[in-house]
Structure 1
């Protein structure tokens, strides 16, 4: 699908006598949005593209990208508290609270009190939640295949290792 490249007009307060024409905003992959860009910006740009595609992919299932992240973590680590889920999904505790209430209301997750610390609520997937996650995962796996489409196994492993190392190294900051 061809997309029209947006233009940005400059302010008249540039102090120049002649008004320059509109500036063409580069498309993803061009200029500073391409290989010339900062790594952090490129990571954010890629994340935004993946998240938007994931949102569209999961929309008819009634699942958002953050809900998918919560379901995934609860499947991987049953019994997490809301605070743990927030840390693992990079979401605020308030956002996770809303997501958890909605998933619980829809019967996808179940709360049980912590066996020792009764005030801590632990969350696990229900059968309905596991079924929903399975449907989501099929679509997300297809997206992941698109992401890794031009990579051989060695290159994909290298990129995964690099991304994990970035998170590990910068966690200290």
Structure 2
């Protein structure tokens, strides 16, 4: 335990929260121009990466509540960006697929995210970017392995 008067910036959790907060705010603002929320963006991208995925699985992978993800998916279905279909072997599971207009919007949103990442990472040299990326992957693999494709990243160095 640190000194009681230690500034919060001496703690990793505080720094991580600050970065996440700033990046999240910038992302929400940028996605507004596409009429998307962060949850909707995550839903679109996960359906692109994993066709047939359920809203519940997207929620597990992204850390959004099932209720928030359900609302995001409903809005995307209502806009004709996602479609639902019954799972072939489980009546309780609904699979999601992306429509042509949804795929186009997902591609535009990816461009927005890439631009934001570049802006945020501009302060780091290429080698530093690689180190930060590797360390974040390792931490995420430990803290929320559902957020990553199936692979073991805990041993990444």
Please say whether Structure 1 and Structure 2 have the same fold, judged by a TM-score greater than 0.5: yes
Give 2:88's match in structure 1, choosing from 109, 115, 124: 115
* Closer/same/farther in 2, CA of residues 171 and 104 from structure 1, 3 Å limit: closer
User: Hey, what does 1:70 align to over in structure 2?
Assistant: 43
**Contact preservation (8 Å) 2:43, 2:55:** no
Given that residues 59 and 66 in structure 2 are in contact (C-alpha distance below 8 angstroms), is that contact kept between their aligned partners in structure 1?
Answer: yes
Q: What are the Cα deviations for residues 62-82 of structure 1, in whole angstroms up to 9, with x where unaligned?
A: 111121111111111111111
Task: Indicate the residue corresponding to 1:145 in structure 2.
Answer: 118
**Structure with the bigger percentage of helix:** 2
CA distance in 2: counterparts of 1:134 and 1:53, whole angstroms: 18
Indicate the structure (1 or 2) with the bigger Cα radius of gyration.
1
Q: 1:47 aligns with which of 4, 11, 20?
A: 20
4+ runs deviating over 3 angstroms:
none
- 1:77-119, CA deviations, whole angstroms, 9 ceiling, x for partnerless residues? 1111111011011111111111111000000101111111122
Q: How does 1:7-46 map to 2 (within 5 A)?
A: 32=7, 36-46=9-19
How many residue pairs get aligned? The number is 140
Deviation at 1:170, TM superposition (A): 3.3
The equivalences for 1:75-154 within 5 A come to: 75-154=48-127
- Aligned partners of 1:108 and 1:170: how far apart in 2? 31
Structure 2, unmatched stretches of 5+, are 1-5, 146-157
**SS, match of residue 7 in structure 2:** helix
Q: Distance in 2 between matches of 1:90 and 1:101?
A: 18
Instruction: Provide structure 1 residue ranges, at least 5 long, that are not aligned to the other structure.
Output: 1-30
